[in-house]
């Protein structure tokens, strides 16, 4: 049923796209139709696959590192008043900076390779993961804490047995958000300076007026992002308490 | 479990400078059920939380002591209307929570025995969401008993249950908690009349002692004397409110 609906929506979108191309009569280097893009995708499949692999690697490493950093930071903040006083304002401030503005600096510091893109992905997901998990850790239902206190539980054991598990659904929503943001981070990094990756391929195709290839790369990125989102959603189902 | 002490609560509480309740003395007889009734917001839960050593938001002046002189808060087990079961943990793990929190070895034989006594053995692997309200409250009772504390503080533990399940739970709790010093905060005169060895009605002015029925607790739901006590309590509560 869900898949049926997705299929119908996809077919509808493709028809709409084709209709716009036919009705406006735009040339294919401005707006190529779905068939043209599919053809470009097929004839460039080896190149697209290679660049997809690069972007996927950046995104996955970024996701893992960003999530780990976010989890550690949230626990630090939740357990230490000093950390809250010192670190929280900094976090909020860095969040107020547009991450795009940092991309050139990161490329300057870390070079054109994989790591500047990983760093972008990490930066863009670090805050949502940290703040979602931190909020969850600070909103432990009062009754659980009372119960634990009457059971003479120590701080650490309340953290591990009660606060962290009670906050896992919040962490799950943070991670799901991160799965949407991480590809954006990596592609921005690739736009600023790279020789590989889907973002790079899009720029390259665009520069050579290969609009059909640029669309093919963009749609590949979209499909990858959706699949990543679904995978993370699935992986975090237990965490979110959905069975 | 160490032998159940008598607990005395003696003092007053203020919220934001105004008195919540006047100085009052509440005695929980050793090994007996003491029921505490009273209007909403009069401070019943506050008294219970003060005895448990929990945060309350009131300023308490007075003393809370046990007859044997040992500290009180470390020897209480606490059970509230909200069963406070951890939704992510199985029945078995919920019951064993205390030992896990203290990093102690789990006494599995005792846990299994308690599961039998609350008739939940076949549910031990389930999550709380898979249980009925009565079953959940039985898990909470088993968790309370697992703590094996001499003093038991119950804050409206059965008020969310339907009438039949509530009566069943009252019988079970009376049986399993016998010999411990129990404070039961309740809104239900029938519950107090069935279970109380001593019954106190609380108002902002202080406590009124009401003598319980003569029959041994738990009393039958249709015992005439118990029904009479229930009626008298109801009348008193309504008069206090007026
Ligand atoms: N954290 C707090 N801060 C300020 N006031 C509080 C706090 N906790 C309780 N109070 C006040 O103390 C009073 C007594 O609360 P308490 O929960 O003890 O009442 P209760 O007799 O248990 O009522 P109920 O029967 O509705 O459970 C209430 O009027 C409440 O407003
Ligand atoms: Mg209350």
- pLDDT of residue A242 exceeding 90, the answer is no
Per-residue pLDDT of A58-112, as tens digits, reads 999 999 999 999 999 999 999 999 999 998 888 888 778 887 888 889 889 998 8
Q: How far apart are CA A5 and CA A2, in angstroms?
A: 5
Q: What is the pLDDT of residue B169?
A: 87
Per-residue pLDDT of B181-206, as tens digits, reads 999 999 999 999 999 999 999 988 88
CB A205 within 8 A of CB A213: yes
- Position B89 in a domain: no
- Position B225 in a domain: yes
What are phi and psi for residue B163, nearest 5 degrees? -55, -45
CA of B219: how far to CAs of B129, B191, B222, in Å? 32, 10, 8
Query: Measuring from atom 13 of ligand 1, which residue has the nearest CA?
Result: B41
- Position B22 in a domain: yes
User: pLDDT band for position B83 (50/70/90)?
Assistant: very high
- pLDDT of residue B15 exceeding 80, the answer is yes
Report whether residue B49 contacts ligand 1, using a CB cutoff of 6 Å.
Answer: no
Reported ipTM exceeds the 0.95 cut: no
Per-residue pLDDT of A180-222, as tens digits, reads 999 999 999 999 888 899 999 999 999 998 999 999 999 999 9
- Position B19 in a domain: yes
Closest CA to A184 of A104, A116, A120, A101: A120
- Position B129 in a domain: no
Give the range of the structural domain holding residue B159, as residue numbers without chain letter. Answer: 7-84+149-241
Contacts of B166 (CB under 8 A, 6+ apart): B158, B159, B191
User: pLDDT band for position A126 (50/70/90)?
Assistant: very high
pLDDT average, residue stretch B34-62: 93
B101·A150 Cβ contact <8 A: no
Number of domains forming the structure of chain B: 1
pTM score, two decimals? 0.87
Domains of chain A: which residue ranges? 1-29, 32-239
Please give the residue of chain A at the shortest CA–CA distance from B151: A150
Closest ligand 1 atom to residue B156 Cα is 27
Per-residue pLDDT of A145-179, as tens digits, reads 999 999 999 999 999 999 999 999 999 999 999 99
- Position B236 in a domain: yes
Q: What is the pLDDT of residue A92?
A: 83
Q: What CATH homologous superfamily does A32-239 map to?
A: MetI-like (1.10.3720.10)
CATH number at residue B53: 3.40.50.300
Whole-number percent of chain B with pLDDT over 90: 70
- Position B123 in a domain: no
Query: Measuring from atom 14 of ligand 1, which residue has the nearest CA?
Result: B43
Closest ligand 1 atom to residue B47 Cα is 18
Q: How far away, in angstroms, is B44 Cα from ligand 2 center?
A: 6
């Amino acid at each position: 049923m869900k898949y049926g609906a997705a299929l119908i929506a996809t077919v509808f979108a493709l028809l709409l796209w084709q209709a716009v191309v036919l009705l406006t009569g735009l040339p294919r280097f401005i707006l190529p139709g779905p068939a043209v893009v599919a053809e470009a995708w097929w004839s460039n499949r080896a190149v697209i696959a290679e660049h997809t692999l690069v972007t996927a690697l950046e995104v996955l490493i970024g996701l893992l590192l960003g999530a780990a950093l976010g989890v550690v930071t949230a626990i630090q903040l939740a357990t230490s008043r000093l950390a809250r006083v010192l670190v929280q304002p900094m976090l909020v401030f860095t969040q107020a900076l547009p991450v795009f503005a940092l991309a050139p600096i990161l490329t300057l510091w870390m070079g054109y390779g994989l790591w500047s893109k990983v760093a972008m992905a990490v930066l863009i997901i670090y805050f949502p993961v940290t703040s979602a998990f931190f909020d969850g850790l600070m909103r432990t239902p009062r009754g659980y804490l009372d119960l634990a206190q009457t059971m003479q539980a120590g701080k650490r054991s309340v953290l591990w047995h009660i606060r962290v598990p009670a906050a896992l659904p919040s962490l799950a929503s943070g991670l799901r958000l991160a799965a949407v943001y991480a590809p954006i981070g990596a592609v921005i990094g690739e736009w600023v300076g790279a020789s590989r990756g889907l973002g790079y391929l899009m720029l390259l195709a665009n520069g050579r007026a290969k609009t059909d290839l640029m669309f093919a790369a963009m749609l590949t990125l979209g499909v990858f992002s959706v699949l990543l989102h679904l995978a993370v959603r699935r992986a975090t189902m237990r965490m979110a308490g959905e069975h | 479990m160490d032998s159940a002490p008598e607990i005395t609560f003696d003092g007053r509480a203020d919220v934001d400078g105004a008195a919540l309740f006047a100085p009052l003395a509440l005695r929980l007889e050793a090994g007996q059920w003491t029921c505490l009734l009273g209007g909403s917001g009069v401070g019943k839960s506050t008294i219970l939380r003060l005895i448990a050593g929990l945060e309350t938001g009131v300023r308490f002046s007075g003393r809370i002591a046990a007859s044997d002189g040992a500290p009180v808060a470390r020897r209480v087990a606490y059970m509230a209307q909200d069963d406070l079961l951890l939704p992510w943990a199985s029945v078995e793990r919920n019951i064993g929570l205390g030992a896990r929190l203290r990093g102690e070895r789990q006494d599995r034989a005792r846990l299994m025995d308690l599961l039998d006594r609350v008739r939940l053995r076949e549910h031990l692997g389930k999550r709380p969401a898979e249980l009925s309200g009565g079953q959940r409250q039985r898990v909470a009772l088993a968790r309370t008993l697992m703590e094996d504390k001499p003093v038991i503080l119950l804050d409206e533990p059965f008020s969310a249950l339907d009438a039949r399940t509530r009566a069943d739970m009252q019988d079970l709790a009376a049986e399993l908690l016998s010999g411990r010093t129990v404070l039961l905060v309740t809104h239900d005169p029938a519950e107090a009349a069935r279970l109380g060895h001593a019954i106190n009605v609380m108002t902002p002015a202080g406590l009124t002692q009401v003598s319980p029925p003569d029959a041994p607790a738990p009393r039958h739901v249709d015992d005439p004397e118990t029904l009479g006590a229930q009626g008298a309590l109801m009348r008193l509560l309504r008069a206090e409110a007026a």
